[in-house]
Structure 1
């Protein structure tokens, strides 16, 4: 990704956030939010999938970690029509077993945050603007969730 593409993406994201009325409203619009649940942090990143990385926003709340793609993916409906839907993931904090740091062996500057759920699913997030800060925040939120359960 070139610097100009990154800048365009940031400006586009900023415009969408302003249009929607803030990051909190975007979070509440895209995900079901429980009473008393608070959005703690949101950051741009990619979700690694078998068909390649998907750009989007990672939301960290007092109850869940949630991801929504910037662009819709194209799927086939049960009737056979092509439809566009956002790629969404929502993981309750109580279902997260651990978060682990990882990096690409061939490209050590490519760092990942691996989230493993209690039922064995793995989610790989990458491309954070500030990997260290985002990873430490994820660790802290998950640790605090474990301590309060």
Structure 2
């Protein structure tokens, strides 16, 4: 008989609470600084971020700087401003958290509507200094809206 959870992990309440608190604080800060320094500081240098779907930015990005160069910078290029997250749900279990959030009033420089629902599944770890960092994200997006906002955009292929 197959297990209900093929990758079971031990839930540690202290870790769950630390993860939840970290994510809640992060999304509060991100709403205030529009995915500025607070967001970048929360990402591990060894980050692995997967953008789901079939949009121009879909794929897996290994490393914080690669994610910034290949996803965040192009988004800043095509959007009037990055979304201000409106958090609807946060679920935490051990080092993992899922955040369901939405944006409204977000428009591409090309006029495309970028309001959408997001779901980010995030894994956190303590780094060498004891600070909690995001080490893995699987992000779910509306591929149609992401594709529309990037219509006509030329990606810089020289960045690694």
TM-score normalised to structure 2 length: 0.28
The answer to which structure has the higher strand fraction is: 1
TM-score normalised to structure 1 length: 0.29
